[in-house]
Amino acid sequence: MGQGDYQILHEADLRAYLAGLPDLKGLLGGEPAAWAITEVGDGNLNLVFIVKGARGGIAVKQALPYVRLVGESWPLPLSRAHYEYLALMRQAQLAPGLVPAVLHHNVALALIVMELLEPHIIMRKGLVAATRYPRFVDDITTFMARTLFFTSDLALSAAEKKEAIAAFAGNHALCKITEDLIFTDPYRIAEQNRWTAPYLDGLAASLREDLELHVAVSRLKLKFMASPEALIHGDLHTGSIMVTNSQTRVIDPEFAFYGPMGFDVGAVLANLLMAYFASAGHERAPGERAAFEAWVLETVEQVWTEFARKFLDLWRAGAAGDAYPPSLFPGEKGAARLEAERQAYMQRLFTDAVGFAAAKIIRRIFGLAHNIDFELIEDAKKRAISEARAVRLARVMMVEPGAFPVITDVTAAARNLRDWVPELSG
């Protein structure tokens, strides 16, 4: 298997391939024939293998030439593995210890070998089980503040920034998935849409007729397409985060490109809010998950406040980028005016995050790709109730983001909807 050939790797191919790489062979230890190789990918796009030897283990991710969730009828470029590799390397520089270490990369095979994250689990699974993660706020806000700030015009020269945009511009097929699945399809008839029928039939139809919502989501789509503010992860949901009680790792940045910062922040907020609304559907006795639900809303608040604090601290510590030239803000008066502008910048970013969070919620309830937070609620009526509550909040967040000037307005609105009884179809 040379550098020039792509083939979908099966267990035997992977074993032979790894056996030919002395560093990885040594890391795994023992005889290659004795390595345990398991394909564990449960995402929508790729193959993921866990390989364990006598000494250690690794994770191997290979891009398929099509969307795994749908099949060969939906081709997808292998180049996404290259962008994922670029993003992982940049994120490792900017947020050390918060992404998996890359051990090997093969462009032709669209293959990335990473450290094995063990005993980490996908955060979404932990949230379904009502597990609280004490490191999460500090780690995810450090990740977002540092990766977004240091790849923005606040930290880069104009030339560096444009080179960086160009380096990721080819990842447009992945952007197109987002443009279609998040910002378009849930609001029109699309073959791949699905929802909890028949209970949400009426709500699905109302989304298709809601022109205020169509304007709001189209504005967000335009912002996503035309705002290369920073290198964003591009798919920062709780399925892209692996956790233990004491560690957090952000994985899977294959959707990375230069886009709006609020898209990443909104993704984290949206997925926590969905965990909150889904929680009622998972309880076996009333109030059983109350402490977890309180933690989730507190986490929503802290994710924004800590992110904003860290981002502003980086900016105040000395922004070397070409935006906001210091010579335009001299003396005490200039410093005060610049500080007021920083606050205004963060307020705009917050409003973006609120809107993008809303779009992220609606796509998981009416679009192609759902999440286990809701999907694992077996009783379809209960699931629909949780989903309808989330959609009620998401609609206001999208159409009137200005009605949520601070993050506690979002959490208060979520809390008020906790026991709201929606009118269901069917």
Tokens of 196: 């909890």
The whole-angstrom separation of Cα 160 and Cα 196 is 47
For Mg ion, how many residues bind (rule: CB under 5 A)?
A: 2
- Strand order of the β-sheet with 121-122 is 121-122, 241-243, 248-250
Which of the stretches 38-46, 89-97, 107-115, 308-316 binds Mg ion when contact is defined by CB under 5 A? 38-46
- For residue 417, give Cα distances in angstroms to 296, 340, 389: 15, 34, 6
Which partner, ligand SR1, Mg ion, none, binds residue 69 by CB below 5 to 8 Å per kind?
A: ligand SR1
Which of 84, 153, 185, 252 touches Mg ion by CB under 5 A?
Answer: 252
The whole-angstrom separation of Cα 63 and Cα 68 is 9
The CA-based diameter of the chain, rounded to the nearest angstrom, is 70
**235 in contact with ligand SR1 (CB under 6 A):** yes
**227 in contact with ligand SR1 (CB under 6 A):** no
Which partner, ligand SR1, Mg ion, none, binds residue 293 by CB below 5 to 8 Å per kind?
A: none
**What would the x/- binding string for ligand SR1 be over residues 342 to 381, using CB under 6 A?**
---------------------------x------------
Find out whether 147 and 96 touch, Cβ atoms under 8 Å. no
Min. distance of Cβ 67 from ligand SR1 in angstroms? 5
For ligand SR1, how many residues bind (rule: CB under 6 A)?
A: 9
Q: Which amino acid is at 250?
A: V
Which partner, Mg ion, ligand SR1, none, binds residue 177 by CB below 5 to 8 Å per kind?
A: ligand SR1
Cβ burial 409-418 (10 Å sphere, 16+ → b, else e): ebbebbeebe
Which partner, Mg ion, ligand SR1, none, binds residue 385 by CB below 5 to 8 Å per kind?
A: none
Residue recorded with tokens 């892209």: 240
Task: Give 310 or 364: the residue with its C-beta nearer to ligand SR1.
Answer: 364
Min. distance of Cβ 12 from ligand SR1 in angstroms? 28
Which of 27, 155, 181, 232 touches ligand SR1 by CB under 6 A?
Answer: 181
Task: Give 47 or 156: the residue with its C-beta nearer to ligand SR1.
Answer: 47
Min. distance of Cβ 174 from ligand SR1 in angstroms? 8
List residues bridging with 249 in a β-sheet: 242
Which of the stretches 134-142, 155-163, 250-258, 376-384 binds Mg ion when contact is defined by CB under 5 A? 250-258
Task: Give 51 or 369: the residue with its C-beta nearer to ligand SR1.
Answer: 369
**417 in contact with ligand SR1 (CB under 6 A):** no
Q: Which amino acid is at 293?
A: E
Site for ligand SR1 in 74-93 (CB under 6 A): none
Nearest 5 degrees, angle CA 212-CA 303-CA 321? 90
The secondary element (H helix, E strand) that includes residue 241 is: strand 241-243
The whole-angstrom separation of Cα 191 and Cα 196 is 15
Nearest to 62 by CA among 47, 82, 74, 43: 47
Min. distance of Cβ 70 from ligand SR1 in angstroms? 7
**69 in contact with ligand SR1 (CB under 6 A):** yes
Residue 199, Ramachandran bin (φ over 0: left; ψ between -120 and 50: alpha; else beta):
alpha
**What would the x/- binding string for Mg ion be over residues 198 to 237, using CB under 5 A?**
----------------------------------------
Residue recorded with tokens 């410093």: 335
**84 in contact with Mg ion (CB under 5 A):** no
Helix (H, G, I), strand (E, B) or coil at 160: helix
Which of the stretches 49-57, 177-185, 243-251, 303-311 binds ligand SR1 when contact is defined by CB under 6 A? 177-185
List residues bridging with 61 in a β-sheet: 48, 112
Judge residue 202's burial from the number of C-beta atoms within 10 Å of its C-beta, 0-12 exposed, 13-18 middle, 19 or more buried: middle
Task: Give 144 or 270: the residue with its C-beta nearer to ligand SR1.
Answer: 270
Find out whether 311 and 149 touch, Cβ atoms under 8 Å. yes
Min. distance of Cβ 207 from ligand SR1 in angstroms? 18
Min. distance of Cβ 328 from ligand SR1 in angstroms? 40
**241 in contact with ligand SR1 (CB under 6 A):** no
Q: Which residues bind ligand SR1 (CB under 6 A)?
A: 44-45, 67, 69, 177-178, 181, 235, 369
